[in-house]
């Protein structure tokens, strides 16, 4: 950790849009001696809408001043504008757990980027319902656990996974081919990111690329989203598509689709780690 990282924080704010918010926040930080290095904002309407802000700033001795800074901001700014807000220190490295089944493309992309310093986090462990990827994971020096999941042991299995993942700030489903237990999802509300293919029309089942080929699709894509109790209906973080045509075989569709999946998931995870996402109901505001 360098000194810049140690003294850098991010402030995320949501509130009703009113005059004076930017001035109030920037003035508060100025009087604290902070230097604003990035400021992004968004309002849902010209007047009377919802307001969203992300501010990144540097402040000397930030670690020791965090508690006082938080209390003072709450009393002097947040209460006045009835803000929902959070302050994140860059030096507080987020811990991430990964769930995976047998397919490795999304998992290996995350592990590779993390090893190269592209994901600012600590990957604590990978949990799978199969042994298949143990060697691939352990080659990165990351613990690998197997928790079999069947229709008869789901509650017990997810209780075990919940225990294994305690202490993590985020869970990532890197093509984990199981439907999460509802109680598990509630415990990890807005702390689980999933990736899945997305076609028009939407194909479900074990072989969506074969179905897509048979229907002659012209676009394939992927969607990364937060997991909610409603299957694949959580707030969308990132999406991407690639154009295809009649020349593509099933294998070519699958290869291209997996490329899209791995990159979409990696971007979504990175933006979460960098505190770029504000969830607003079933939508997200993503500051890039």
DSSP bridge pairs for 38: 56
Q: Can you tell me the distance from the alpha carbon of 102 to that of 165, in angstroms, rounded to the nearest whole number?
A: 19
Q: Can you tell me the distance from the alpha carbon of 144 to that of 124, in angstroms, rounded to the nearest whole number?
A: 9
Q: Can you tell me the distance from the alpha carbon of 234 to that of 284, in angstroms, rounded to the nearest whole number?
A: 10
| Annotated catalytic residue, options 40, 232, 259, 280 | 232
Alpha-carbon torsion angle 12, 14, 17, 20, nearest 10: -40
3-state helix, strand, coil in the chain (%, to 5): 35, 30, 35
Tokens (6 digits) for 152: 């008869």
Determine whether 232 is an active site residue: yes
Beta strand pairing call for 144-146 and 121-128: parallel
With tokens 């143990």, the residue in question is 134
H runs (alpha helix) in the chain? 3-6, 21-32, 62-73, 79-81, 105-115, 134-138, 154-164, 182-187, 208-215, 250-273
Rg (C-alpha) for the chain, rounded Å, is: 21
Give the SS3 label for residue 147.
Answer: coil
Contact 235, 279 (CB under 8 A): yes
Q: Classify the phi-psi angles of 13: left when phi > 0, otherwise alpha if psi is within -120 to 50, otherwise beta.
A: beta
Tell me which residues are annotated as active site.
232
């Amino acid at each position: 950790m360098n000194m810049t990282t140690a003294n850098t924080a991010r402030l995320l704010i949501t509130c009703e849009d009113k005059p004076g918010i930017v001035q109030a926040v920037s003035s508060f930080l100025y009087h604290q001696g902070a230097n604003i290095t990035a400021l992004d904002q968004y309002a849902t309407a010209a007047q009377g809408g919802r307001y969203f802000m992300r501010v990144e700033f540097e402040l000397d001795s930030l670690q020791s001043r965090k508690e006082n800074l938080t209390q003072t901001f709450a009393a002097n700014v947040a209460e006045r504008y009835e803000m929902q807000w959070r302050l994140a220190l860059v030096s507080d490295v987020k811990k991430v757990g990964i769930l995976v089944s047998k397919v490795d493309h999304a998992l290996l992309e995350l592990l590779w980027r993390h090893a190269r310093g592209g994901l600012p986090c600590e990957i604590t462990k990978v949990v799978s319902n199969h042994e298949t990827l143990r060697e691939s994971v352990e080659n990165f020096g990351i613990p690998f656990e197997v928790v079999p999941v069947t229709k008869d042991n789901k509650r017990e299995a997810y209780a075990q996974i919940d225990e294994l993942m305690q202490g993590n700030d985020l869970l990532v489903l890197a093509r984990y081919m199981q439907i999460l237990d509802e109680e598990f999802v509630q415990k990890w509300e807005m702390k689980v990111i999933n990736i899945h293919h997305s076609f028009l029309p939407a194909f479900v089942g074990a072989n969506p690329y074969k179905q897509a080929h048979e229907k002659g699709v012209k676009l394939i894509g992927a969607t990364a989203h937060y997991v909610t109790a409603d299957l694949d209906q959580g707030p969308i973080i990132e999406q991407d598509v690639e154009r295809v045509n009649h020349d593509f075989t099933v294998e070519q569709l699958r290869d291209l689709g997996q490329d899209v999946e791995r990159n979409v998931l990696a971007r979504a995870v990175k933006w979460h780690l960098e505190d770029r996402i504000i969830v607003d109901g079933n939508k997200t505001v993503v500051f890039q």
